[in-house]
């Protein structure tokens, strides 16, 4: 997991495309979550990150989550889903990875 903000070619898995259709999420909405996430955590699968952005209203809040795996040449979007309500922050990314991301953004 390196820099998630660096521009790379996107690879959409069939699973992600089906989930986007099920939860009525557009490709641009998923890209927006990846560009400006409210929270970034370690993904459940190995070498993945989960990015979250809040959405909805104060009466009916929900979160949009995207699971991403980064390689050297492309960014694989594994899954995307809509979570009703709000979640508690889980395990954040390690400090070392966050520092790498900040350094690559500054360059």
Domain ranges of the chain: 9-106
DSSP bridge pairs for 84: 62
CA neighbor of 33 nearest in space, from 57, 22, 49: 49
CB proximity list for 14: less than 8 A, separation 6 or greater: none
Per-residue pLDDT at 1: 45
In tens, the pLDDT along 23-59 reads 999 999 999 999 999 999 888 888 889 999 999 999 9
Q: Which CATH architecture has domain 9-106?
A: 2-Layer Sandwich (3.30)
Mean pLDDT to the nearest integer, 81-107 = 71
Among the ranges given (35-49, 64-78, 87-101), the one the predictor scored with the smallest mean pLDDT:
87-101
pLDDT, the chain, mean:
84
Is residue 70 scored above 80 in pLDDT? yes
């Amino acid at each position: 997991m390196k820099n998630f903000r660096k521009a790379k070619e996107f690879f959409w898995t069939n699973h992600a495309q089906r989930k986007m259709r099920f939860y009525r999420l557009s490709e641009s909405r998923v890209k927006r979550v990846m560009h400006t996430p409210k929270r970034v955590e370690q993904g459940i699968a190995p070498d993945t990150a989960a990015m979250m952005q809040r959405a909805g209203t104060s009466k009916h809040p929900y979160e949009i989550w995207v699971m991403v795996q980064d390689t050297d040449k492309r960014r694989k979007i594994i899954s995307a889903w809509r979570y009703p309500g709000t979640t508690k922050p889980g395990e954040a990314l390690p400090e070392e990875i966050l520092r790498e991301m900040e350094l690559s953004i500054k360059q």
